[in-house]
Structure 1
Amino acid sequence: VFSLIIINKAGGLVYQREFQPGLRKLSTNDYLVLAGTFHGNVVSPSATSSTPTSSTASYSYPNPGVPATGLECLETDKFRLTCFQTLTGTKFLLFTDPLMANIDVVMKKIYELYADFVMKNPFYQLEMPVRCEAFDRNLQGWLRGRT
């Protein structure tokens, strides 16, 4: 896993973490632009679609019962960008190696950690930046344990 970005339902960047040392660092402004741009590309297709999705072959993960909408995966020879959008509109953008397997398992675990350590935190305000040391620590530890 190279990086994780979490975007709130309004398109604001609420969390950003890099996990691979040695990667070229982006500025905070670059991450804000990336979050806003990606939010527009995910929201626009589902908001402007006049026909409901009838395909049962593609589902968003880790919610297999929810049909996928918008951009879900972007792959290049250098990285794979996978997006998971929750039912509340929060988007998780995961940057990984294009050859990495079981991304759905990784995304599911990240979402579980987010639910356990961020959403259940009584001091966290919805839609605000995530500043939760327990989430950072558990996420880093789980990802380190996978390699």
Structure 2
Amino acid sequence: MIQVRFSHLDYNVADLQKAMRFYDPLMAYLGFQKETCQPTWCLYGNQRFKLCLVECEDIYKWEGFHRKRPGLNHLAFQVEKKEEVNQVHSFLLQKNIPILYGGPGQFHNETEYYAVFFEDPFRLKLEVVYSPGYL
């Protein structure tokens, strides 16, 4: 049997510059480096995962994104210590990024799952989670 790991995610955005204003500081704070940036896309990586922001074609921009439609619901970043979730929460507050669900907390009844949720400028839900049993 082969073993794989998650390689990358291409995320189509309506406005690349707006997306980069949000993601540049967030991804740097989460330990990602901006690896390559072109006029229509930007790639962030951290040795384990890559996120590529891609500006979609004009004919698709009007539809917009909603996480409750079929497709991607949210993107979660795993941290190694529970305190790091709180540190990210403080970072988000400093950047005036609205927090969902009242702030960090335990979001699973059967396993340790401490997380903070927030949205990017296009309403994609993002999560930073500490859950040692959820690897």
Give the TM-score of the pair, scaled to structure 2: 0.29
- Higher share of residues assigned helix: 1
**Structure having greater relative contact order (Cα 8 Å, sep ≥ 6):** 1
- Higher share of residues assigned strand: 2
